[in-house]
Structure 1
Amino acid sequence: MTVEQIGERLRRYRRAAGKTLNQVAAEAGLTASFLSQAERNLCGVSISSLANIARAIQVPLNALLEQPEQQKPDSHTGERVRYTVGSQPLVYERLSSSFPGNPLNAVKMNIPVGYQSELITHDGVELAYVLSGHVTYIIEGRAYPLGAGDSVHFDASKPHRLGNSGTDMAEMINITTMPLFEDKREY
Structure 2
Amino acid sequence: MKQEFISSIGRKIREERLKANLTIRDISERSGLSKGLISKIENSRTIPSMPVFFSILKSMSVAPVKFFEGIDYTQDEGYALVKPAQHEPLVKEDRPGFHYRFIMSRQLHDMNIEIVLLELEPGVKGKATSTDGFELKYLLKGKVAYRLEEKTIIMEEGDTLYFDASKPHRPENLLNTNAVMLVFYFMYPK
TM-score, normalized by length of structure 1? 0.63
Distance 2:106 2:142 in 1: 29
Decide which structure has the larger Cα Rg and report it: 2
- Shift of residue 137 of structure 1? 1.0
Asked whether the 8 Å contact 1:24–1:53 carries over to 2, the reply is no
Distance 1:137 1:156 in 2: 12
- Shift of residue 13 of structure 1? 1.0
Amino acid at match of 2:172: G
Asked whether the 8 Å contact 2:106–2:112 carries over to 1, the reply is no
1:10 to 24, 49, 62: 24
Which moves more between the two structures, 71-80 or 119-128?
71-80
User: Could you tell me which residue of structure 2 aligns to residue 171 of structure 1?
Assistant: 180
1:58 aligns with 2:66: no
- Shift of residue 158 of structure 1? 2.0
Provide structure 1 residue ranges, at least 5 long, that are not aligned to the other structure. Answer: 29-34, 36-44, 180-187
User: Could you tell me which residue of structure 1 aligns to residue 118 of structure 2?
Assistant: 109
Distance 2:89 2:73 in 1: 12
Which one has the bigger strand percentage? 2
1:124 to 129, 133, 153: 133
1:81 aligns with 2:88: yes
How has the CA–CA distance of structure 1 residues 92 and 48 changed in structure 2, closer, same or farther, with 3 Å as cutoff?
A: farther
How has the CA–CA distance of structure 1 residues 110 and 99 changed in structure 2, closer, same or farther, with 3 Å as cutoff?
A: same
User: Among the aligned pairs, what percent are the same residue?
Assistant: 20
Amino acid at match of 1:147: E
Q: Following superposition of structure 1 onto structure 2, how do residues 27-42 of structure 1 map, counting pairs within 5 Å? A: 28=37
User: Could you tell me which residue of structure 2 aligns to residue 159 of structure 1?
Assistant: 168
1:93 to 95, 101, 120: 101
- Shift of residue 144 of structure 1? 0.7
Amino acid at match of 2:25: R
TM-score, normalized by length of structure 2? 0.62
CA RMSD of superposed structures (Å): 4.0
Where 2:112 maps in the other structure, the secondary structure is coil
Where 1:167 maps in the other structure, the secondary structure is coil
Distance 1:75 1:159 in 2: 31
How has the CA–CA distance of structure 1 residues 87 and 75 changed in structure 2, closer, same or farther, with 3 Å as cutoff?
A: same
The one-character-per-residue Cα deviations of 1:61-110 (angstroms, maximum 9, x if unpaired) are x98xxxx9796822112332234447533222222233453531110111
Amino acid at match of 1:120: T
- Shift of residue 24 of structure 1? 4.2
Where 1:103 maps in the other structure, the secondary structure is strand
Where 2:23 maps in the other structure, the secondary structure is helix
